[in-house]
């Protein structure tokens, strides 16, 4: 496997997050892409952020339930 490790920032996988899984993705320096070891998702930073935003909006009302536990 090519050089890989954690990116500068840890992004959670948007595809796994939609299934209630909070998985940190790995960063491929050669391709400048993030990838998920669990669901095969691969995307650059822009795509990850975009997808995470969509998930957040889609599940925004659901997440409110967990606010009390988070703080
Ligand atoms: Zn994933």
Taking the centre of ligand 1 as the mean of its atom positions, its distance from the CA of residue 65, in whole angstroms, is: 23
Query: Residue 20: CB partners within 8 Å, gap ≥ 6?
Result: none
Q: What is the Å distance from ligand 1's center to 11 Cα?
A: 11
Residue 38 carries which DSSP code? T
Residue range 46-69, pLDDT digits in tens: 999 999 998 888 877 555 655 555
Instruction: Check if the beta carbon of residue 70 is closer than 8 Å to that of residue 60.
Output: no
Å from CA of 68 to ligand 1 middle: 26
**Ligand 1 mean position to 17 CA, how many Å?**
7
Q: Report CA(71)–ligand 1 centroid distance (Å).
A: 26
Domain boundaries in the chain? 4-70
Span 1-60, pLDDT tens digits: 455 565 556 899 999 998 989 999 999 999 999 999 999 999 999 999 999 998 888 877
């Amino acid at each position: 496997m090519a050089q890989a490790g954690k990116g500068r920032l840890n992004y959670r996988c948007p595809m796994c997050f939609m299934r209630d899984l909070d998985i940190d993705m790995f960063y491929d320096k050669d391709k400048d892409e993030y990838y998920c070891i669990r669901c095969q998702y691969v995307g650059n930073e822009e795509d990850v952020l975009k997808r995470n935003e969509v998930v957040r909006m889609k599940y925004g009302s659901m997440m409110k339930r967990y606010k009390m536990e988070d703080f």
